[in-house]
Amino acid sequence: MPAPILYYWGPCTVCATTVKFAEENGIELDKRDVEQVPPYEELLALGGDANKIPYLYDDEKLLQGNAAIIEHLTAKFLS
């Protein structure tokens, strides 16, 4: 099973909440920094907005924001 893809920006303190949650719970994420061109273009193609990160792409769904992402990760990996 491929790891969920997290679109984030390295220095983003909001994004750090999701990264920390995943690390503390042993959840592997494929982290893609939208400051780089290919991940930025991937996010746009999925319908995301790099100004509203973090986003998680998993199970063919794009989720935006820490609350939605953490809820999804909890249900999928910790329940």
Could you tell me if residue 54 is left (phi over 0), alpha (psi between -120 and 50 degrees) or otherwise beta?
beta
Helices assigned H by DSSP within the chain: 13-24, 37-45, 66-73
Banded pLDDT at 1 (limits 50, 70, 90): confident
As a whole number of angstroms, the distance between CA 40 and CA 21 comes to 23
pTM over 0.85: yes
Domain-wise residue ranges, the chain: 34-79
| pLDDT tens-digit series, residues 55-65 | 999 999 999 99
As a whole number of angstroms, the distance between CA 58 and CA 22 comes to 14
Q: Look at residue 27 in the predicted model and tell me its pLDDT.
A: 98
What is the average pLDDT across 49-60? 97
pLDDT at 28 over 90: yes
